[in-house]
Amino acid sequence: MRYYSTQRPVTPGSFPRPDGNKVLEIHNYDSKTYCEELGREVWGYIDYEKPLARFDLDSYELSVPQTKTLHLRYLGEDSWGRYVYEDENGKLWKLLDCCSPREVCEQRGDTPHSSYGNTFDGEPDCSMSAHIKPEYQ
């Protein structure tokens, strides 16, 4: 899976090295270069054997093209005031910023989290994979 470095060239210490996930290729451009897949300029990319966790992407400021879309239908607020959605596969997702209006969270691209046990009032669990683009209905 390919990840793009948007903030700096790929150098030692500037990318994650998770156990059991081999780096297949590292490529730096001579200067910041426009990437069609992301719609923005990047310094280079890293190819990994397996997908990275969202935490690694955020920590190292890496980006991945959103290649899959999930359609999320708003269901309401859970007992903690978190916004609950259902995707086309019946999986429940939550946006966690209870202090902002739902539409603001959607527009700024907050990361949805799965609901533990796939229950309406379940605790937020894993964040949505970075390659998935949520579309709100």
Residues 102 and 118 in one domain: yes
Q: What's the pLDDT score for residue 16?
A: 96
**pLDDT tens figures, 86-99:** 999 999 999 999 88
What is the domain range of residue 52?
A: 2-63
3-state secondary structure the chain: CEEEECCCCCCCCCCCCCCCCCEEEEEEEEEEEEECCCCEEEEEEEEECCCCCHHHHHHHCEECCCCEEEEEEEEEECCCCCEEEECCCCCEEEECCCCCCHHHHHHHCCCCEEEHHHCCCCCEEEECCCCEEEEEC
Q: Are residues 132 and 91 in the same domain?
A: yes
Residue 69 in this model has a pLDDT that exceeds 90: yes
* Count of domains for the chain: 2
Do 76 and 49 share a structural domain?
no
Query: pLDDT tier at 45 (50, 70, 90 boundaries)?
Result: very high
* Average pLDDT of the segment spanning 26-46: 95
**72 and 109 both lie in a single domain:** yes
Tell me what the mean pLDDT of segment 118-122 comes to: 97
| 85 and 124 both lie in a single domain | yes
- Percent of the chain past pLDDT 90, that is, above it, reads 83
What pTM was estimated for this model as a whole? 0.72
